[in-house]
Amino acid sequence: MRTTTVSTTLVILLICAACIPATAADMVSERSIAVAMPPVPEVAMEDSSDMDFSKLQISPRYSHTELMPGEGDKVTVTVTNKDNKTISVAPMVKGQPYSEYIFDETWVTVTPEAAELEPDAKEEFTIDVTIPDGADRGNYGVQIAFTDDVMPTPYPTPYPNYINVFNFQVSVWKPPVIQIQNSYIQDRIESDREYDYQINLKNVGEEDIGIDPKIGGGRMYRHDMMLPAFEDDAITITAPSVVPAGGTATVSLHLAVPEGAKGRYNGDLDLGIDDPSIDEWMGAIHLSFEVWTQPREAFVKTFTAETDSPITIEIRSDQGWYGECGSGSADVEEPYFDVTLEGPTGNDVTPGLSKVAYHGSVDLGGSGCTPPWEIDSSGTYHESQTSYIERYTVAGAAGNWTLGMLPHYAERFEYTITIGDAD
Amino acid sequence: MKNITTLAVIAISTALIIGAGCITDTEKNVHPYVVIWAGTQPADHEMIEIELSRQIVPYDGVVYDNVTVSVVEKEGAMHLHVSATSSACGYPDLYDFRYQNRELVRTGYLLEAIPESVRQDAIWIAMQYPGIADALSDGAGMPTVKRILPETSEKFYAPKTLLSVTWIDETVSALVDMDARMAVEMWSGE
């Protein structure tokens, strides 16, 4: 009992101590700042437990389908009365707020038009949607409100928020009448050289289709702090303004790589196809260029021979190792090396090419590098790494040597200098 | 009269020879392509060719021009490696068969004889698949495009010819249904 009294007293004291500074602070604030505050309106929030709305279980609540103009689809929605009273259900077709395209209410019918649902009774409603022939490609949304109950809000809203509602999304699409070949251009290029590429377009439709190809959109591919190897104006586009019905057209790209260009260029060629069935992404050709910069000066390595034993120099270039299952591009030029050698007396020694070797690593498939649907294929050889090896041998002499190695079309290389017996 | 009889005999003989030739020709030309046997032809090569013509089927709309067959005999069976090419396609269709007891059984295939326009279309369709575009890096190279036969496709989608578009460097592949113009499965090395 005594303990309880002490505890109570302590609690009261703590509460008082907390209140005093707060009150003081309020007083100071009232004295130093006089700001006329508008009266805050009191919002009378309705207690949801007291809300009067029909409690219906709607299954499903949401559905999505893809349709072409002229096509239709049906969805069955089961409405169950979870209330303890009979509910009159009369489905109403309502446009979905913020939908990309306006769903015309005449495109949808709901049957039955009305139903009286006793408690725990259920009714299956069929929602029949037909997209007219002339509908635009895009995403359409519609709501089927089974009762007019709406969510109360303390402020006016542009759209009523129906409670007993089924949401239906329809993506209207059209097969493109323009066929594009290729969908991307990827190449390894060299600075101060010119390249030509072509994109073929085929119009399988019955009307001419306008095109207006432009370079752009590459910024999204570029990383911060990384400038493109060259600007968009290095690429010149030549194209007709239309692809005739049932005909073809060629879009030509001429790339003049500026001298000294280094790094990568990523961008898009927006074909500007005047066809609503093609969205922006589909009508763009991705461009990816890597400027291949070869050194012009040889890599120099000096070494000392302690004896007059023959000297063997082996240079190895590995190509393509981009990942666990990686391989390089098949279009890469074959590597080779210019090798120079200066002997101890300062004289140039011509190294004799004694061996050239090609090395490869081939996966037979069936490993983690094979898609499961290609396991049945035989002979799915995959060359994951290739190497090119040059071996030079010269008569040796004790002293200091200088080896120069200028690679061509090599991404990287290794060298081995052996003085004495090589294997 | 003797001359007429002689002429009649010659005419009938000629007709019979031509007729026989036509019949033989019809039996041999069950396929529109030229069969080339690399190495020695087996004794029953004609029977094998007829059976082959039933089992090697090009991509829809493609006609094989040449079919090269090489044979290795091993453990009492003939193992046939068949390369079928078409001028319309940049890559061949490869088939492996085992021939034993007059029965030709396909043991493997690698089918890349697909018209270039279809290849490009398949790549384009594969790249529409959200996961594919996300999985490919900027440096992704050209993918392989392989025909997947219905018996294999059935395990993953439906018993129909599909195309497998694979960026092996990126460990990414899409199984493409050209009729539906959509990728139906994606593989990313897992």
CA–CA min distance A377, chain B (Å)? 5
Q: Are residues A149 and A83 in the same domain?
A: yes
Q: Are residues A253 and A205 in the same domain?
A: yes
Q: Are residues A347 and A394 in the same domain?
A: yes
Could you tell me the CA-to-CA distances from A406 to A24, A338, B166 in Å, in that order? 83, 5, 36
| B153 contacts in chain A (CB < 8 Å) | 373
Quote the pLDDT of residue A80: 94
User: What residue in A sits closest to B154 (Cα-Cα)?
Assistant: A373
Quote the pLDDT of residue A188: 77
User: What residue in A sits closest to B95 (Cα-Cα)?
Assistant: A378
Domain that holds residue A24: 9-49
Q: Are residues A60 and A35 in the same domain?
A: no
**A371 to B187: CB separation less than 8 angstroms, yes or no:** yes
CA–CA min distance B124, chain A (Å)? 6
Q: Are residues A407 and A380 in the same domain?
A: yes
CA–CA min distance B17, chain A (Å)? 45
Mean pLDDT calculated for residue range A213-239 = 74
| B116 contacts in chain A (CB < 8 Å) | 181
Boundary of a domain, candidates A291, A326, A345:
A291
Boundary of a domain, candidates A146, A172, A198:
A172
Q: Is A361 a domain residue?
A: yes
CA distance A38 to B87: 84
User: What residue in B sits closest to A366 (Cα-Cα)?
Assistant: B189
Q: Is A195 a domain residue?
A: yes
Mean pLDDT calculated for residue range A224-232 = 73
Q: Are residues A38 and A131 in the same domain?
A: no
What residues does B98 pair with on adjacent strands? B79, B105
Amino acid at B182: M
Quote the pLDDT of residue A382: 54
Quote the pLDDT of residue B12: 52
pLDDT above 80 (res A305): yes
Mean pLDDT calculated for residue range A274-295 = 74
With a pLDDT cut of 90, the percent of chain A lying above it is 33
Instruction: Count how many domains chain A has.
Output: 4
Candidate from A11-20, A57-66, A74-83, B181-190 with smallest mean pLDDT: A11-20
pLDDT above 50 (res A226): yes
Amino acid at A134: G
**A175 to B146: CB separation less than 8 angstroms, yes or no:** no
Q: Which residue has the higher pLDDT, A221 or A201?
A: A201
* Buried/exposed code over A308-344 (b: 16+ C-beta within 10 A; e: otherwise): ebbbbbbbbbbbbbbeebbbbbeeeeebbbebebbbe
Q: Is A245 a domain residue?
A: yes
Q: Is A326 a domain residue?
A: yes
pLDDT above 70 (res A131): yes
Would an 8 Å CB–CB cutoff place A361 in contact with chain B? no
Q: Are residues A83 and A161 in the same domain?
A: yes
Would an 8 Å CB–CB cutoff place B134 in contact with chain A? no
Quote the pLDDT of residue B70: 87
CATH of the domain at A368: 2.60.120
CA distance B122 to B180: 11
Q: Are residues A414 and A307 in the same domain?
A: yes
Quote the pLDDT of residue A29: 35
| Segment A353-404, tens digit of pLDDT | 999 998 877 655 555 567 777 776 645 455 656 788 999 999 989 999 999 9
Would an 8 Å CB–CB cutoff place B166 in contact with chain A? yes
CA–CA min distance A63, chain B (Å)? 20
**Dihedral Cα A80, A81, A87, A92, nearest 10 deg:** -30
Q: Is A1 a domain residue?
A: no
| Segment A312-347, tens digit of pLDDT | 999 998 765 333 333 333 345 678 899 999 999 988
Q: Are residues A33 and A81 in the same domain?
A: no
CA distance A399 to A200: 63
Q: Are residues A328 and A412 in the same domain?
A: yes
CA distance A324 to A220: 27
Q: Are residues A72 and A44 in the same domain?
A: no
Would an 8 Å CB–CB cutoff place A48 in contact with chain B? no
User: What residue in A sits closest to B128 (Cα-Cα)?
Assistant: A282
Q: Is A285 a domain residue?
A: yes
Q: Are residues A260 and A327 in the same domain?
A: no
Q: Is A4 a domain residue?
A: no
Quote the pLDDT of residue A16: 39
- Walking along chain B (190 residues) 10 residues at a time, the average pLDDT comes out as 51 46 41 83 88 92 90 83 86 86 85 88 86 73 87 90 87 91 84
> Mutate which of B168, B175, B185 to test chain A, going by most A C-beta atoms within 10 A?
B168
Which B residues 64-93 touch A at CB under 8 Å? none
Boundary of a domain, candidates A256, A291, A326:
A291
CATH of the domain at A116: 2.60.40.10
Quote the pLDDT of residue B17: 43
CA distance A392 to A314: 6
Mean pLDDT of chain A: 78
Which A residues 301-360 touch B at CB under 8 Å? 322-330
Q: Is A57 a domain residue?
A: yes
Q: Which residue among A288, A368, A378 sits closest to B189, beta carbon to beta carbon?
A: A368
Q: What token pair was written down for B144? A: 């392989």
Quote the pLDDT of residue A156: 75
